[in-house]
């Protein structure tokens, strides 16, 4: 699809949305109620771990590809639904190393440990960047609103966690 076709399709979708909003307003709903209904619509929470770095979102017919460090961090949070504080990543060192050794193609254990060390470093630069990349990839795959169900988010109290998702492993 070229740029002109893409813009035309986008304009058509916007016109349809405006028409639907007008219809809802004619039924007595104000704009804030419509917006609230959209944002509170139950989101899908199913994802499939397909292997080779592929995370599939079957309800959205979409996929995202994570590199080994991203997968390692994401799988750690899936294993810990209670959440983990960023400063406590080092407490999960052994588990991170086990996940990364399974996800990485590198045979050099020193290299693998360096990757996990950078993820757990006191500065948290690699941790924050990795969380951000995962979020961007999921948002690109299923849209910002839908990705909220799958991304790693910081909650009150400083814990990072993934909402309750239904993980299917292939």
H, E, C per residue of 27-59: CCCCHHHHHHHHHCCCCCCEEEEEECCEEEECC
pLDDT of residue 69 exceeding 90: yes
Which residues, in sequence order, are bridge partners of residue 49? Answer: 55, 169
Task: Tell me the three state secondary structure of residue 11.
Answer: helix
Task: Tell me the three state secondary structure of residue 88.
Answer: helix
> If you average pLDDT over residues 83-94, what whole number do you get?
94
What pLDDT, on a 0 to 100 scale, did the predictor assign at position 37? 67
Confidence of residue 125 (pLDDT cuts 50, 70, 90): very high
> If you average pLDDT over residues 151-160, what whole number do you get?
94
> If you average pLDDT over residues 24-38, what whole number do you get?
75
Task: Tell me the three state secondary structure of residue 158.
Answer: coil
Structure-model confidence comparison of residues 84 and 25, the more confident one:
84
pLDDT of residue 86 exceeding 90: yes
**How far is 169 from 142, CA to CA, in rounded Å?**
19
**How far is 108 from 104, CA to CA, in rounded Å?**
10
Q: What is the pLDDT of residues 53-65, one digit of tens each?
A: 999 999 889 999 9
Across 24-33, 67-76, 106-115, 140-149, which has the greatest mean pLDDT? Answer: 67-76
pLDDT of residue 169 exceeding 90: no
Structure-model confidence comparison of residues 71 and 112, the more confident one:
71
* Alpha-carbon 13 to chain mean position: 25
Across 23-27, 59-63, 75-79, 113-117, which has the greatest mean pLDDT? Answer: 75-79
């Amino acid at each position: 699809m070229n740029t002109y076709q893409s813009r035309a399709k986008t304009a058509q979708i916007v016109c349809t949305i405006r028409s639907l909003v007008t219809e809802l307003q004619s039924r007595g709903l104000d704009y804030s109620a419509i917006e609230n209904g959209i944002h509170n619509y139950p989101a899908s929470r199913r994802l499939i771990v397909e292997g080779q770095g592929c995370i599939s979102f079957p309800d959205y017919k979409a996929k995202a590809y994570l590199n080994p460090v991203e997968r390692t961090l994401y799988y750690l949070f899936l294993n810990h639904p209670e959440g983990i504080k960023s400063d406590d990543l080092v407490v999960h060192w052994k588990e991170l190393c086990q996940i990364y050794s399974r996800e990485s193609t590198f045979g050099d254990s020193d290299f693998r440990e360096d990757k996990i060390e950078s993820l757990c470093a006191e500065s948290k630069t690699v941790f924050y960047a990795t969380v951000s990349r995962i979020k961007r990839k999921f948002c690109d795959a299923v849209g910002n609103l839908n990705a909220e169900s799958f991304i790693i988010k910081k909650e009150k109290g400083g814990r990072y966690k993934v909402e309750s998702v239904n993980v299917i492993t292939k």
